[in-house]
Structure 1
Amino acid sequence: MAGRPLSPIPASTPPELRALVQRLRDAKEASGKTFAALAKDSKVSESVVRRALAGKGVPSLETVKAITLACGRKEDDMARAWYAAKAEEVLPGARELGPMLVTSRAEFVESMVFMRIEGGYPPLHRLEELAGSDQDGRTRLPHSTLHLVLQGQIPPTEELFTAFMDALFMPAAKRRNWLDAHRRLFADAPARRAWGQPPPVVRDEPSALTSCEAAERALPRLEQDERIKRKTGQLKEPDDYELLGLGYLNSPAPHFQWPDEEELAAWEAEAAAQPAQEHVDLREKLRAMIDRTEPA
């Protein structure tokens, strides 16, 4: 069985990726192999083969080469198609420049990304392993530092860039031109500290921050407004209830008016005229209730 057929390439697929996937599909159809046979001959799983031919993402260069060889095609032509698709994915709209045409640090960093793509776009950890260690046992190409460099956050030192080219096995002829371009653009880049050397001490401390002049002019006005509000009764110190969040207990109800002396006298007379309530002994009452509920 040939298995389930592939769906059409999505319309949202970028042009270079669409061209790569279509060439892979044409190679499969020309070989007459099923997905299972193609996976067996290319020594990758069938699911990886299907994902590579689906057109939803750029597969790895190793996968593309394995499928191409299993289909009996030349891997160099397919590798160039992969390179264009990967560059389109990682650096959309960017143009690859040679060392003599690079005029800015941003273009140089983009060129480093193109170098990585040309080398198969290996992971940063793999580049760190390929670069090895120096004579002091220190990693020549830390992946965390390389990540910051490729993001444009820190400049690449000459030592790090040399290790980067070593990890990508760049030919010696290209190395000299790119080193000249690096020295031209990053001549003032700080050198990496030697092993065990502490960071430099900055003796010229920055000047202390001063407050805003507008705020200094506004503070006296605010203090004067507060003194006026305290004198006129518009502002008062918070009491214990307000500090505890219970200010409503000490504040009168809306539209509340305290009664005058005549109303207070009338309330007291009305309370005195009411008959006194009969005193009830709760213990006797409870004992009587218990006696009634107990069985005879």
Structure 2
Amino acid sequence: MAGRPLGPIPASTPPELRALVVRLRDAKEASGKTFEALAKDGGVSESVVRRALAGKRVPLLETVKAITRACGRMVDDMARAWHAAKAEEALPGARELGPKMVSSRAELVESMIFMRITGGYPPLHQLEKDAGSAPDGRTRLPHSTLHLVLKGRIPPTEMLFTAFMEALSVPAADSRNWLDAHRRLFADAPARRPFGQPPPVVRDEPPAFTSCEAAERALPRLERDEEIKRKTGQLKEPDDYELLGLGYLNAPAPDFLWPQYDEDELAALEAEAAAQQPAQQHVDLYEKLRAIIDRSASA
């Protein structure tokens, strides 16, 4: 691997990244060191050195500093080149502004990203760790919340913005100016509810009904609905068969089971029924049972 030369810088490489990679390659050639020697003197692996000089993406700032020291070059100059390349990658086309020049919330979020670039672009988990914990034990700078802020999805609270600047070691004088800009731009932003606090009660809405109150209001309405259906014939009283669970005995047979008769057959059936003796009178079952019991008792 040590003798394999680097390929050309890709044509799609952005200008600032191309300028950084060219400076790193020039420093390597001027030092006369191999990749293996650069990796050993810089305290990094040879594959890391090769990826940094490939020009496909912006390397870590620590990697750039390690290669620059191993080549015997000034770290500050190379760090400024890295800063320009990282800003081009993270905020293409954006311009770094001071706290008094920021005039919108989006520009303030962009300024937070520039602060992160100036601080070496540490991972969000590292920023959360560097910010420490609040007196109640909760983290001051949750990485998931910070991710949403830097994506512009939610506004940064003053507490989160302060913890963010402290984690990046922003100078005190600059921090005060940035806090003034934050208060100016987010003065009318709705405050987010603290963790664990229930949502506020909306006073212009009627109070929620309890289960008993709801039942007391629902039962009269159901009774009125049933009375209307009963009067209009939509609801009928259950007969004895239905009360005994024998409703199927009174249920009409399906239409397809009824026999089909013509006029002559119907006339013959009516004549046959008229010739038969009258049907037995309806007898009250209750009275019949009472008579049987009385006869049994007298015997």
TM-score (normalizing by structure 1): 0.67
- Report the equivalent of 1:103: 103
- Report the equivalent of 1:133: 133
Q: Which amino acid in the other structure matches residue 92 of structure 2?
A: P
- Report the equivalent of 2:79: 79
Return the offset for 1:10: 1.1
For residues 96-151 of structure 1, what are the alpha-carbon distances to aligned partners after superposition, in whole Å with 9 as ceiling and x for unaligned?
11111111111111111111111111111111101010111111001111111111
Aligned length: 205
Distance in 1, matches of 2:110 and 2:35, equals 37
Q: Percent sequence identity over matched residues?
A: 84
- Report the equivalent of 1:146: 146
Distance in 2, matches of 1:111 and 1:159, equals 17
Return the offset for 1:2: 4.7
Q: Which runs of 5+ in 2 are unaligned?
A: 206-299
Map of 1:184-203 to 2, 5 A cutoff? 184-194=184-194, 196-203=196-203
For residues 15-59 of structure 1, what are the alpha-carbon distances to aligned partners after superposition, in whole Å with 9 as ceiling and x for unaligned?
000000000001111111000010111111101100000000000
Q: 1:2 to 1:188 in 2, by over 3 A?
A: same
Distance in 2, matches of 1:115 and 1:61, equals 14
Query: Bigger radius of gyration, 1 or 2?
Result: 2
Distance in 1, matches of 2:111 and 2:49, equals 31
Map of 1:246-261 to 2, 5 A cutoff? none
Return the offset for 1:200: 2.7
User: Which segment drifts farther, 99-108 or 190-199?
Assistant: 190-199
Distance in 2, matches of 1:202 and 1:8, equals 65
- Report the equivalent of 2:262: none
- Report the equivalent of 1:39: 39
Aligned partner of residue 4 in structure 2, secondary structure: coil
Check the 8 A contact 1:157/1:190 in 2, yes or no.
Answer: no
Aligned partner of residue 53 in structure 1, secondary structure: helix
Q: Which amino acid in the other structure matches residue 132 of structure 2?
A: G
- Report the equivalent of 1:168: 168
- Report the equivalent of 2:155: 155
Distance in 2, matches of 1:59 and 1:128, equals 22
Distance in 1, matches of 2:106 and 2:25, equals 37
TM-score (normalizing by structure 2): 0.66
Q: Does 1:65 align with 2:55?
A: no
Distance in 1, matches of 2:195 and 2:106, equals 29
Q: 1:48 to 1:204 in 2, by over 3 A?
A: farther
Q: Which amino acid in the other structure matches residue 58 of structure 1?
A: V
- Report the equivalent of 1:258: none
Map of 1:234-245 to 2, 5 A cutoff? none
